[in-house]
């Protein structure tokens, strides 16, 4: 009976704990998201909705806890009850034996009976104790299950056992009939081939979702291609030593990420071999120094979580300084589409120019100035390369690029723009930015 009760308790408590863990994870995720996105929630007046949602998952959590407690609430009294029944039986039967007139050698003395009662307590106390420890153990087992499940996920991208190549590259890049899908055969890149010579810069242009960022992800081997191959200095990326491969790149991403710490720490980003002088030099080269000096404490100024407290332009300048300080063989730049004031815009353009100098660069370009400066422009459309060439060449063939360009910048665009309702044109296309739309 005791055994049956323990089994029932063990199974129930385990299920309960699993539930409690999952639900507390949901609460944590929700809180994290909503603290980070508090402003968005406020802007869209979604406080009531968020509150209701929170109350819901909170209630779920409470219920899971109550479910678990239910097993305890039944189990421990049950153990006590069984214990009490045991003692009652001992007293009943033992008492009868003490008082009855049976032959002398079978008489139970009062002392023996009392000892018996004591001993029965020794039996039940450990059972209670074990169950109590089991409680702690259960929580740990359930938690470790979740941790191991994550740890056991296979690492898809690994360095080859015998890398064919490592070290600094000269910067020769080649995509050879690359096909890629994030999942199944939902092709994001279709038969993409192009070459970049060392020191050259290429601009990737195309409407949103055409696969520009994907190309840069593949180049750093965040994913492996399904068909075709990507060569760096003539060697397939999969044959490269992974760490060494990635050391060759510096990346300035579409949305810039700063870590909490100091400005200098964000430029250096954990690389101790980058000296203070180098940090200052890099910041000076991209003209980030003036604004950094204006901050309280200069280079040692505190950067808050994810760079809160700095403007978008300032964050971009810091990330350019970071790229320059690292002096990578290849620069990958995913230009942000958000437009900034003209003065900062100019600063950024100069910074981009400085970082790209004498370097192989792949730029997902939105600024006309960056696009024009590129040695080669690749126009992507639904994951395929539609056109390829220099700015002038592409304009000459009067294809997709020409149409896009004409729509955005050239004087010929007046006819198209005239058909728009008044006042809309400035909203649709921020000055100096190529916004591709289908």
Ligand X SMILES: Nc1ncnc2c1ncn2[C@@H]1O[C@H](COP(=O)(O)OP(=O)(O)OP(=O)(O)O)[C@@H](O)[C@H]1O
User: Could you tell me which stretch among 77-85, 168-176, 208-216, 232-240 binds ligand X (CB under 6 A)?
Assistant: 208-216
Q: Buried b vs exposed e over 113-152: b needs ≥16 C-beta within 10 Å?
A: beeeeeebeeebeeeeeebeebbeebbeebeeeeeeeeee
* Contact stretch for ligand X (CB under 6 A) within 130-138, 154-162, 169-177, 204-212: 204-212
Q: CB–CB of 41/50 below 8 Å? A: yes
| C-alpha–C-alpha distance, residues 88 and 398, integer Å | 100
Tokens describing residue 360: 């192989």
- C-beta closer to Mg ion: residue 207 or 406: 207
Q: Which of 209, 228, 389, 430 binds ligand X (CB under 6 A)?
A: 209
Tokens describing residue 325: 């300080």
In sequence order, the 6+-apart residues with CB closer than 8 A to the CB of 288 are 314, 317, 318, 320, 321, 351
Work out whether 222 is an interface residue with ligand X (CB under 6 A). Answer: no
The verdict on 214 binding ligand X (CB under 6 A) reads yes
Report the C-alpha gap between 109 and 90 in whole angstroms: 13
Please state the closest distance from residue 382 (CB atom) to ligand X, in A. 9
Token pair recorded at residue 333: 């730049």
In the complex with ligand X, which residue's Cβ is closer, 210 or 433? 210
Q: Which parts of 207-236 interact with Mg ion (CB under 5 A)? A: 213
Q: Is 211 in the site for ligand X (CB under 6 A)?
A: yes
In the complex with ligand X, which residue's Cβ is closer, 337 or 344? Answer: 337
Question: Rounded CA gap, 350 and 360, in Å?
Answer: 17
**Look-up of token digits 């965040």:** 222
Q: Is 433 in the site for ligand X (CB under 6 A)?
A: no
Q: Using the structure block, give the residue that is written with the tokens 């001992």.
A: 90
Task: Output 255 or 341, the one with its CB closest to Mg ion.
Answer: 255
In the window 295-354, what residues touch ligand X (CB under 6 A)? Answer: none
Question: Which residue in 131, 210, 266, 316 binds ligand X (CB under 6 A)?
Answer: 210
Q: Which of residues 135-194 bind ligand X (CB under 6 A)?
A: 182, 188
Residue 65 interacting partner from Mg ion, ligand X, none (CB closer than 5 to 8 Å by kind): none
Instruction: Pick the stretch among 203-211, 230-238, 290-298, 426-434 that binds ligand X (CB under 6 A).
Output: 203-211
Question: Cα-flanking dihedrals φ and ψ of residue 48, to 5°?
Answer: -60, -45
Q: Which stretch binds ligand X (CB under 6 A): 67-75, 122-130, 205-213, 410-418?
A: 205-213
The nearest distance, CB 209 to ligand X, in angstroms, is 4
| 238 is a site residue for ligand X (CB under 6 A) | no
Cα distance between residue 3 and residue 110, in whole Å? 31
Which of the listed partners (ligand X, Mg ion, none) does 188 bind, with a CB threshold of 5 to 8 Å by partner kind? ligand X
Beta-strand runs (E) in 182-218: 187-196, 201-206
* β-pairing verdict for 187-196 and 201-206: unpaired
Note the residues at the interface with ligand X (CB under 6 A).
Answer: 182, 188, 206, 208-214, 254
């Amino acid at each position: 009976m005791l055994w049956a009760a323990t089994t029932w308790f063990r199974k129930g408590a385990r299920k309960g704990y699993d539930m409690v863990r999952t639900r507390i994870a949901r609460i944590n995720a929700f809180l994290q998201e909503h603290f980070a996105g508090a402003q968005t929630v406020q802007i869209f007046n979604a406080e009531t909705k968020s509150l209701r949602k929170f109350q819901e998952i909170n209630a779920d959590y409470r219920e899971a806890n109550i479910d678990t407690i239910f097993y305890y609430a039944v189990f421990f009294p049950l153990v006590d009850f069984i214990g009490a029944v045991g003692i009652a039986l001992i007293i009943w039967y033992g008492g009868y034996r003490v008082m009855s007139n049976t032959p002398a050698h079978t008489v139970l003395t009062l002392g023996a009976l009392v000892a018996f009662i004591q001993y029965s307590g020794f039996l039940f106390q450990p059972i209670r104790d074990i169950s109590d420890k089991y409680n702690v153990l259960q929580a740990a087992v359930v938690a470790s299950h979740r941790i191991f499940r994550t740890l056991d996920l296979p690492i898809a991208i690994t360095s080859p056992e015998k890398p064919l190549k490592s070290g600094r590259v000269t910067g020769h890049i080649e995509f050879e009939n690359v096909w890629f899908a994030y999942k199944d055969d939902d092709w994001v890149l279709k038969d993409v081939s192009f070459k970049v010579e060392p020191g050259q810069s290429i601009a990737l242009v195309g409407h949103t979702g055409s696969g520009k960022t994907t190309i840069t992800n593949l180049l750093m081997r965040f994913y492996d291609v399904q068909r075709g191959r990507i060569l760096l200095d003539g060697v397939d990326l999969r044959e490269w030593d992974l760490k060494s491969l990635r050391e060759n790149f510096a990346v300035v991403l579409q949305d810039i990420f700063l870590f909490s710490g100091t400005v200098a720490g964000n430029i250096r980003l954990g690389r101790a071999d980058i000296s203070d002088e180098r940090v200052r030099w890099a910041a000076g080269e991209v003209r980030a120094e003036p604004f950094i000096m204006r901050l309280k404490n200069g280079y040692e100024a505190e950067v808050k979580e994810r760079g809160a407290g700095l403007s978008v332009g300032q964050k971009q300048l810091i990330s350019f300084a970071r790229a320059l300080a690292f002096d990578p063989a290849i620069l990958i730049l995913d230009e942000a589409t958000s437009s900034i004031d003209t003065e900062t815009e100019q600063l950024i353009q100069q910074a981009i120019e400085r970082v790209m100098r004498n370097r192989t660069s792949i730029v997902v370009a939105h600024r006309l100035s960056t696009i024009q400066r590129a040695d080669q422009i690749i126009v992507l459309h639904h994951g395929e390369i539609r056109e390829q060439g220099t700015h002038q060449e592409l304009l000459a063939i009067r294809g997709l690029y020409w149409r896009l360009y004409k729509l955005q910048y050239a004087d010929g665009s007046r006819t198209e723009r005239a058909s728009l309702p008044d006042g809309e044109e400035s909203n649709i296309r921020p000055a100096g930015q190529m916004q591709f739309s289908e």
